[in-house]
Amino acid sequence: MSLIPYALTRPFLFGMDPEAAHDFTMNLMAKGQNTLVQQAWAQPLVKDPIELAGLKFPNRVGMAAGLDKNARCIDALAAMGFGFVEVGTVTPRPQPGNPKPRMFRIPERNALINRLGFNNEGLDAFLSNVKRSRARAQGAPMLLGLNIGKNATTPIEDATSDYLKALDGVYPHADYVTVNISSPNTKNLRALQSDEALDALLGAIAQRREQLATQHGRRVPVFVKIAPDLDEEQVGVIAATLQRHGMDGVIATNTTISREAVKGLQHAEETGGLSGAPVLEASNQVIRQLRAALGSRFPIIGVGGILSGADAVSKIRAGADVVQIYSGLIYRGSALVPEAARAIAQMR
């Protein structure tokens, strides 16, 4: 367990506006990482190694994308005991995101709604931060995923050029790259999950990845992150397209646009993506469908609604190889990381 119990920290953070609490915590972690302050959240890395997509994961619990959009806190997150940390989504150019307020808590359901809209400082700032990570330089076992997206002002017809620019930039610095086509907060982004658009995008990415592999002498795995709001047929088409283009894995899932589970609660009707406990079953359902469509060997990273060790185990049982957490960290604090990693390690 970390030095300060989250039961004490949470009321303080939940007394603040959600985005202000987020910024406060990220600033603290960015300043405190690699100093004595880091003891406040440092935890041992649960050892439960697994090889996936040619990568050696030290354990099966990762930080999901979106918490650290600018890659400022890689070392702080490494110290929390994550086996892998995904930072971003980064877009080629800096952008402010949507107007505030744009992040809401629904504590009755351990849920969040966000419509941040890829607020980030852009690729150059992101890469400078990635290069500054000491954990990386010192060869920490944690893996680093770099998650890429498109700028809001880039027309959807030109999305591929944004993804290729971002891929070129992040490629030499990533253990894996995630192509995010599933945020509900960038207009038309999720249309990239549909048959022809996905085929064209992944075709271009696969081709560029071959060039980059030759140029850098290293083949970096590419994962694609999808939404939970898909029916079985759409999941089947996506699965076939991923395999056809030699993608190395799929991350399932992003936030949901469904409000079924939070109806009538304060903030439930805010526009954006719902995350946390209400998305667990929908995500697990997509994972089950993906596993059935992809066969037993294709890497699946399961994310959505993990609030306990048992939730993490449910994702592995649904067919995920490894899992990621975001909202659970807000509701449960960093103790959830070793709890989930241990629960998975002890599975029979």
Ligand X SMILES: Cc1cc2nc3c(=O)[nH]c(=O)nc-3n(C[C@H](O)[C@H](O)[C@H](O)COP(=O)(O)O)c2cc1C
Would you please indicate which residues are annotated as catalytic (active-site) residues? Answer: 183
Measured from the CB of residue 86, what is the shortest distance to ligand X in angstroms? 7
Binding residue for ligand X (CB under 6 A) from 58, 62, 66, 319?
A: 66
Question: Which residue, 32 or 273, is less far from ligand X as judged by CB?
Answer: 273
Measured from the CB of residue 63, what is the shortest distance to ligand X in angstroms? 9
336-340 long-range contacts (CB < 8 A, ≥24 apart) are 336/306, 336/307, 336/308, 337/43, 337/61, 337/80, 337/81, 337/82, 338/43, 338/44, 338/46, 338/81, 339/308, 339/309, 340/61, 340/306, 340/308, 340/309, 340/311, 340/312
Contacts of 98 (CB under 8 A, 6+ apart): 115, 116, 117, 119, 185
Burial class (CB within 10 angstroms; exposed 0-12, middle 13-18, buried 19+) of 20: middle
Contacting range for ligand X; rule: CB under 6 A; set: 9-17, 52-60, 61-69, 188-196: 61-69
CA angle 190-195-198, nearest 5°?
A: 60
Question: Can residue 110 be called a binding residue for ligand X (CB under 6 A)?
Answer: no
Question: Which residue, 38 or 150, is less far from ligand X as judged by CB?
Answer: 150
- The token duo for 240 is 């076939």
Q: Which position's Cβ is nearest ligand X? A: 66
What is the β-pairing status of strands 111-114 and 273-276? antiparallel
Binding mask 193-232 for ligand X (x = CB under 6 A): --------------------------------x-------
- 342 sits in which H/E element: helix 336-345
Measured from the CB of residue 161, what is the shortest distance to ligand X in angstroms? 20
Measured from the CB of residue 73, what is the shortest distance to ligand X in angstroms? 14
Measured from the CB of residue 36, what is the shortest distance to ligand X in angstroms? 29
Binding mask 246-265 for ligand X (x = CB under 6 A): --------xx----------
Q: In the β-sheet with 111-114, what is the strand arrangement from edge to edge?
A: 103-106, 111-114, 273-276
Measured from the CB of residue 180, what is the shortest distance to ligand X in angstroms? 4
Question: Which residue, 197 or 261, is less far from ligand X as judged by CB?
Answer: 261
Binding mask 8-47 for ligand X (x = CB under 6 A): ----------------------------------------
Alpha helices by DSSP H, listed for 254-335, are: 280-294, 309-318, 327-332
- The token duo for 162 is 């944004």
Question: Which residue, 133 or 255, is less far from ligand X as judged by CB?
Answer: 255
Question: Which residue, 38 or 183, is less far from ligand X as judged by CB?
Answer: 183
The whole-angstrom separation of Cα 348 and Cα 344 is: 9
Measured from the CB of residue 252, what is the shortest distance to ligand X in angstroms? 9
Question: Which residue, 81 or 328, is less far from ligand X as judged by CB?
Answer: 328
Contact 10, 48 (CB under 8 A): no
What is the β-pairing status of strands 300-303 and 322-325? parallel
How big is the site for ligand X, counted in residues (CB under 6 A)?
27
Question: Can residue 291 be called a binding residue for ligand X (CB under 6 A)?
Answer: no
Question: Can residue 305 be called a binding residue for ligand X (CB under 6 A)?
Answer: yes
Chain centroid to Cα 28, Å, comes to 21
Alpha helices by DSSP H, listed for 111-254, are: 123-132, 134-137, 159-170, 195-216, 232-244
Footprint of ligand X (CB under 6 A) = 64-66, 69, 89, 103, 112, 114, 116, 118, 147, 180, 183, 225, 254-255, 275-276, 279, 303-306, 325-328
